[in-house]
Structure 1
Amino acid sequence: MSNTPAPTSMTASDLAEILFCSGLQQSDRPSAEQVRAAIDARIGACGGDSSVCVALVAQEAGDHPETYSARMRWALGIVAAAYPDVRTAA
């Protein structure tokens, strides 16, 4: 398996936000390939508009503030592993 490049020129934070609003869970112990597939699927479900995913993250953060931090830390960490060449900041 090769490291698939990140969609467009998104940062790790962008990709983590997209992963955050996917159905993938930490308890799934996803592989890098599963993380990339979940991000690709979520981008497609958002019509290719990452701002739609960002809005979903904001909604989830408001609905579940007690789990937001832990889930976002997980998303950031696993995105860094799945996309090792992605920049971390804009």
Structure 2
Amino acid sequence: MFTTTELAQVLFATSLQPSDRLSPVQIRETVDERLCACGGDLARCAAYVAQEAGDHPETYVRRMRWALDAVAGAYMLAAA
């Protein structure tokens, strides 16, 4: 089982944007697809997030906040 923070890092590493209107199912499917593409290696996603934070600090916080909120909502609904 992954934490919300780990799932948010995976979502952050996708091409989805905060402006996209995404359902919880779409978010979970995208996270699953990205995890499969990375061979389940969370370190690859974390490395991408760190690189983006360094390269684009002005947008990092907003995108990570979106990713955290998106996965919290998507996975909370899945558990219900």
Q: How does 1:38-77 map to 2 (within 5 A)?
A: 38-77=30-69
1:10 corresponds to: 2
Q: Percent identity?
A: 56
Question: Per-residue CA shift, 1:3-39, capped at 9, x if unaligned?
Answer: xxxxxx1000110010001111111121101100110
1:23 corresponds to: 15
**C-alpha deviation, 1:85, in angstroms:** 7.1
Cα RMSD (Å) of the superposition? 1.4
Supply the AA of the counterpart residue of 2:40: G
Bigger proportion of residues as helix: 2
Give the gaps of 5 or more residues in structure 2: none
Q: TM-score, normalized by length of structure 2? A: 0.91
Supply the AA of the counterpart residue of 1:16: A
Aligned pair count reads 78
Supply the AA of the counterpart residue of 1:26: P
Question: Per-residue CA shift, 1:56-86, capped at 9, x if unaligned?
Answer: 1101111111000000000000111101179
Q: TM-score, normalized by length of structure 1? A: 0.81
